[in-house]
A and B are shown apart, each in its own frame.
Chain A
């Protein structure tokens, strides 16, 4: 049956887009927390200005993922909701606190301790969400969640509170921080700030590489380990991701910023798609496949029709949004105002 494969692929695409857009917004929070040096204040301002117009739209991709999951793969949704209740709840805590703290800080009127406190909450909650998102991804791929007759047999902590999912969580955090740093080099014309984020991007890329290796070791060491890297397809993505990683590193190193954004996004997309390819045929390894979790085919068909029609509204809107805000560096510390109609 082909339809569930198509909807599953669309979920993966939505997850990719969430990672390369929404992920970078969370990564911005990491650099807010780690802002340092003589330009710490300007770094924070740049992050805030870069995120503000787009973060809510970027966030919707996660809702798309979750809605497609519970409408098209309801069994996977219920199993994941039960087995990963705790990390998902913590991820949500991060989502809520990040959103609230960001707008409170961005709009609050006075530069006083209250507002500074919101800045700290924004930064810390930006770390929580990628960490636990990665932990959930790690847990569904590891094979530590066992299911029989639609009942989750494993506990509420065991499947995710172990080295591999936690390493994937930290890896996700590093990946999002890497994206944010690379994007931020293109958000400003200020060479000093650009230099700051170039250095941070290079450092984060190194972390991404180290954590990827650590995750591979953690996976090997785990008794439950599902064989993710079997067959040739996952390795193609590994090779591609490494090649892209080298290209981004080179471009950053030589300060050739023209293509860094696209290359970094492509690197992350390759990693997420590679993960998806490695998961085939499972939705929750090793007991729940895409086919087993799928709703009846005509539901998938209806959803595809909705997605097809909706895309005609969505795609032009998104293009307009990004053309307005992301074509050129827009960072200016003081807001200009249009006067008169």
Chain B
């Protein structure tokens, strides 16, 4: 295997690791602020304990997210220095603004986590709001930079290959950013919401009387349900934008080898590159043409129109896309179940064991969908790092032996993933409301090395 492939695997793995924590960082502050607001309004101490328990979990996950995000910003250069050499100034606007969003997030998170006794409750809540807003803006800016890689604009390529007439503002005000940002933000709230709901649902299955977990479950579902219903619409917008601006990626996503009108939507299936067709898919005639271009008679361009060396890997792109769509549909079903129950059964969420189990099982699907969705975006853009401007292999580092940093990254991140799961499990097992004296004593003892 070659060094470029290992560089790609390393950034893929780093991004796949980071995105989970980044998504949680975006959404958890919002949940905490909701819970704290309810505490301040109702005086119900359980909301206070819930806020504190969530804040502790968030502190752990945000720290991992911040560190792995730092790694990514260096890795852009360590792995793809030629890309950054040319793209850095062009995408300077979103990246420099992201720095400030990140600052706001980190500063106010420190205040939020540690200044409970030092500032007034209203200021404390305000700090939480700034964390939530800062995190959302970080996501907006970073995804905007990614949108530029898919829809590069705001520069011209000179004869010697350098980028001239750089216009960072135009590069940032990118039509591709709108759907990418919307899709990612909704995904972050949705995936985190369902994950949190699943954890509390699991505890409720064992301990149905727990009122605090019922409140937590309710709050998490309140965030999940609207997001799960909105996401297919945002996803549809995204697919139409891809169909318009990146027809090759669209063909790979949908397993569309031949150019045809009345193209069918393929559910499932594995693209067969030799036979130039997608096998074993459930086909809905004409529906792909309709989804992509608004009418069943529209022509969808197939992979055959492009030279083979310009194709992304159709198998990975198509299968990842299917995984994302299926996860989204399952989450939509769970959300609709809850929504209609709420609508028709006296404004209450369903609390049957069947529904709790459905939530538990759906818990990881949001994160799985995010991973699959980013795989579609990134693998689907290959072989380009900047779409139709710079190839990934031209941008990679000349350093040999890239398998070594890749393996180190793999081992470190796998180990950290296991550790995070262990630590979070221990946090959840102790549960909210039993925080202060017993734990402090235990913790103090623990530091006696």
Are B88 and A60 neighbours in the complex by a CB distance under 8 Å?
Answer: no
Are B70 and A324 neighbours in the complex by a CB distance under 8 Å?
Answer: no
Minimum C-beta distance from B29 to chain A (A): 13
Taking CB as reference atom, which chain B residue is nearest A91? Answer: B74
Please report the C-alpha to C-alpha distance between residue A77 and residue B95 in the assembled complex, in whole angstroms: 15
Are A78 and B85 neighbours in the complex by a CB distance under 8 Å?
Answer: yes
Interface set, chain A 311-341, CB cutoff 8 A to B: 313-314, 317-318, 320-321, 324-325, 333-338, 340-341
Task: Choose among B63, B67, B92, B445 the residue that contacts A303 (Cβ–Cβ < 8 A).
Answer: B92
Are A67 and B416 neighbours in the complex by a CB distance under 8 Å?
Answer: no
Q: A44-B447, A109-B426 are in contact. Are A325 and B114 (CB under 8 A)?
A: yes
Task: Choose among B104, B427, B442 the residue that contacts A317 (Cβ–Cβ < 8 A).
Answer: B104
Taking CB as reference atom, which chain A residue is nearest B398? Answer: A82
Task: Choose among A56, A99, A110 the residue that contacts B442 (Cβ–Cβ < 8 A).
Answer: A110
Q: B408 within 8 Å of A by Cβ?
A: yes
Task: Choose among A35, A57, A67, A107 the residue that contacts B56 (Cβ–Cβ < 8 A).
Answer: A107
Taking CB as reference atom, which chain B residue is nearest A336? Answer: B117
Interface set, chain B 41-96, CB cutoff 8 A to A: 43, 45, 48, 56, 59-60, 62-64, 66-71, 73-78, 81-82, 84-89, 91-93, 95-96
Q: A66 within 8 Å of B by Cβ?
A: yes
Dominant secondary structure of chain B at its interface with chain A: helix
Per-residue contact bits, chain B 372-408, to A (CB 8 Å; 1 contact, 0 not): 0000000000000000000000000111000001001
Taking CB as reference atom, which chain A residue is nearest B100? Answer: A310
Minimum C-beta distance from B80 to chain A (A): 9
Choose the segment among A111-119, A246-254, A257-265 that binds chain B (4+ C-beta atoms closer than 8 Å): A111-119
Are A70 and B116 neighbours in the complex by a CB distance under 8 Å?
Answer: no
Please report the C-alpha to C-alpha distance between residue A81 and residue B7 in the assembled complex, in whole angstroms: 13
Please report the C-alpha to C-alpha distance between residue A111 and residue B408 in the assembled complex, in whole angstroms: 29
Q: A56-B63, A103-B64, A341-B43 are in contact. Are A74 and B88 (CB under 8 A)?
A: yes
Are A112 and B85 neighbours in the complex by a CB distance under 8 Å?
Answer: no
Choose the segment among A196-204, A222-230, A294-302 that binds chain B (4+ C-beta atoms closer than 8 Å): A294-302
Taking CB as reference atom, which chain B residue is nearest A45? Answer: B447
How many of A's residues come within 8 Å of B, CB to CB?
83
Q: B115 within 8 Å of A by Cβ?
A: yes
Task: Choose among B96, B399, B423, B437 the residue that contacts A156 (Cβ–Cβ < 8 A).
Answer: B399
Q: B347 within 8 Å of A by Cβ?
A: no
Are B412 and A335 neighbours in the complex by a CB distance under 8 Å?
Answer: no
Contacts of B442 in A (CB 8 A): 109-111
Contacts of A232 in B (CB 8 A): none
Minimum C-beta distance from A171 to chain B (A): 22
Taking CB as reference atom, which chain B residue is nearest A311? Answer: B100
Per-residue contact bits, chain A 54-95, to B (CB 8 Å; 1 contact, 0 not): 101101101110111011101101111110010011001101
Please report the C-alpha to C-alpha distance between residue A303 and residue B95 in the assembled complex, in whole angstroms: 10
Are A96 and B416 neighbours in the complex by a CB distance under 8 Å?
Answer: yes
Q: A206 within 8 Å of B by Cβ?
A: no
Please report the C-alpha to C-alpha distance between residue A176 and residue B45 in the assembled complex, in whole angstroms: 43
Are B397 and A82 neighbours in the complex by a CB distance under 8 Å?
Answer: yes
Please report the C-alpha to C-alpha distance between residue A85 and residue B81 in the assembled complex, in whole angstroms: 10
Contacts of B92 in A (CB 8 A): 71-72, 295, 299, 302-303
Q: A67-B95, A92-B70, A337-B436 are in contact. Are A296 and B89 (CB under 8 A)?
A: yes
Q: A54-B110, A62-B70, A64-B99 are in contact. Are A119 and B449 (CB under 8 A)?
A: yes
Sample 14 A-B pairs with CB under 8 A, ordered by A number.
Answer: A52-B110, A53-B114, A71-B89, A89-B78, A95-B71, A105-B447, A108-B427, A111-B443, A302-B168, A306-B97, A306-B100, A320-B107, A325-B118, A337-B436
Q: A62-B70, A110-B426, A334-B437 are in contact. List 13 more A-B contacts (CB 8 A).
A: A56-B62, A56-B106, A60-B106, A70-B84, A78-B77, A81-B77, A85-B78, A89-B405, A100-B416, A111-B444, A302-B93, A303-B92, A324-B118
